[in-house]
Structure 1
Amino acid sequence: MCYDVNAQLETQLKRAMRDADEHAIREIREKMARETDLPLFHVTGFQHPKMIIYTNGNPNAPVVSQWGLVPFWAKDKKDIWNKTLNARGEAIFEKNSFKTSAKNKRCLIYIDGFYEHHHHGKETVPYYISRKDLQPIALAGLWNEWTDPETGEIRNTFSIVTTEGNPMMAEIHNNPKMAGPRMPVILPDGLEDEWLKPYRDELDQKQLEELLRPYPESELAAHTVGKLRGKDAVGNVPEAMVPVVYDDVKTTY
């Protein structure tokens, strides 16, 4: 799955920089960044951090969104948003929580890397995964605007789409309680905009589903890091990504 990420401001600026959109760059730096929880060296989705996303509604206008999608029909976000941090790609067009967003509200989330836990005997060992070329990772996401029925507040929320894990992730993400290894859907360079194209019919759905593939392990790197949970957790600091060696555990990929 994908519950822990590293996301820096410069990385989330990638799309605006790519398009040389000076207005969007200034808007993010001078205004939007203050509305987010950046910098995020390590954050878990269960903290529901505020990040920057690019939506299919206006692909060149970033918005602040909170991790944990709340569907329009939800009466209370607390009952659902811990369950919607990730969306299984195989079911997004059928599952009630995601099917409306899968058709009409898709987004991109740019991150530096993500963390996954490896089960080694009685110990749980965290890994940090990033692109080998250290370029930003574009994740496929779903979003929704939810209106709090009690306060009238409009909250923008998102979920990260996941798919079957590649061979490297199959070794790392070996949770015995899960049906199989998972990983976030990483969109290859040049295909990000394909995820934001309009949905009109089943043919468009098939084209979108074609994007929900495991990212090649040859383009990813991974290394073990310090504890992310419990009393020994490193916290939201740059040291969260520093390599840490564990006995009898493969330290790098």
Structure 2
Amino acid sequence: MPQRKNKKILIYFFLLILVGSINNNSINNLKFEKIKKINIFGLDENDQKLILYNLNNLDLENIFFINKKNLQSIIESNSLVEQYNVIKKYPYSIDINIKKTNFIARINKNGKFFLLGNNGKLSNDDISNIQLPYIFGSPEINEVVELKKIIDQSNIDYSQIVSLYYFNSNRWDLKFTNNLLIKLPEKFDKETLDKISFFLENIELENKKILDARIKNQMIMLNE
């Protein structure tokens, strides 16, 4: 033990001498390479260029003194970004790996439809080849994301939903590709949706168009 302590003392003493021998002029003369390359992965080329343009406007100095808040602000301002990580590659490049959000619905805001991402952000509705349910009403964005989360946990197939209707009473109606409309109770969870799914699998729908599940422990089928 005394020998280890003596070694540590010698190492600290050597470091003290080394640091003390560097004067202010030496520190001032130290120069770091500016960041020369930023690689972005996970987005389409046009979206990558937009982030790169904004990052270049930051005039990033070098890899050792990156302003993390500014960097995060630019990346997170992009509505397509759900998750990301930044990897410094010495001496003068960084990699930004992005997980692109999945779109979950089209929602009307101020008379214009937007794509709503699983990250809770809105993007311009400029993708025509993607099938998504439309949201009617004025729900909070977090309420839509939470609804999608509960449906995904249940036995109900979200891809079969064509419309989601939100009411000011905090209640939802779901309309499916087979024109069936399900009226959900104000409060529901995965278990509620699983009971509805089980009920639908074990009855003959015939001409029934509406399943009213608003009353607890009751399933009422209606023609209209």
- Name the TM-score class by shorter chain: under 0.3
Q: TM-score, normalised by structure 2?
A: 0.23
Superposition TM-score, scaled by structure 1 size: 0.21
Bigger helix fraction: 2
Of structures 1 and 2, the one scoring higher in RCO (CA 8 A, sep 6+) is 1
Structure (1 or 2) with the larger CA radius of gyration: 2
